[in-house]
Amino acid sequence: MITIIMAEDHQMLIDGVKSFFEYDDEINIIGAVNNGDELVKLVTLKQPKLVITDIRMPIMDGIQATRIIKKNMPHINVLAMTMFDQPDAIKQMLDAGATGYILKNSGIKMLSKAIVTVASGETFFDPNVAFNFMNNYIDDNVTIGKSNKVILSNREKEILSLIANGNTSREISEKLFIAKTTVDTHRKNMIRKLDLASGNELVKYAIDKKYQF
């Protein structure tokens, strides 16, 4: 049995996850809290096998809470469940001791896979997080979730729209006030996410889909 304590400041999400796993024979959510301070206290008391935590929460965020939990109770595995796909957020959670990272909009089936993987001591990553960062961490023990649904970040959608309008990377960088190398990185990530073969295919995809944001 995988016992879980969940930390999330949106009670509706907690209720939804608890409802889904209510009759699951393998996964049991034994507690849920709304901030990092309460998370540390409840984890210390109940000693679950796994912690699922958001990053941004009141009183104490998920990064600090994870750091405390892993320092005092290193046997407890931590899975981050958040909307943040930025490399900096991923790095901070990994440095704090999390061994799983999943986006909230990835679906309950992927969450189930992430729970089982991380609880077993392995590492799990949502397929739609920033792979340009993850490539520095991937090894033989890392599981990458698979999803038919392509999730582009707001910035990627913005860049894709500009690509569809015929803008070069240099022009996009000037319009968005970001470095050209950052634009190029976003292009590479979108090519990977969309399973395309080249930058030319990305341009064709952008035009065909007629992204308007």
Domain ranges, ordered by start, for the chain:
2-144, 154-209
In tens, the pLDDT along 120-173 reads 988 888 877 745 455 555 554 555 455 445 567 788 888 999 998 889 999 999
Query: Greater confidence, 210 or 155?
Result: 155
Give the pLDDT score at 142.
Answer: 54
Phi, psi of 135 (to 5 degrees): -55, -25
Contact call for residues 12 and 41 (beta carbons, < 8 A)? no
Q: Which residues of 54-68 are buried (b: 16+ CB within 10 A; e: fewer)?
A: bbebeebbbbbbbbb
Pairing, β 27-33 against β 2-7: parallel
| Rounded Cα gap, residues 187 and 198, in angstroms | 10
Give the pLDDT score at 140.
Answer: 45
In tens, the pLDDT along 71-83 reads 999 999 999 999 8
32-41, 92-101, 149-158: range with lowest mean pLDDT: 149-158
Q: Which CATH number describes the domain made up of 154-209?
A: 1.10.10.10
Q: Which CATH number describes the domain made up of 2-144?
A: 3.40.50.2300
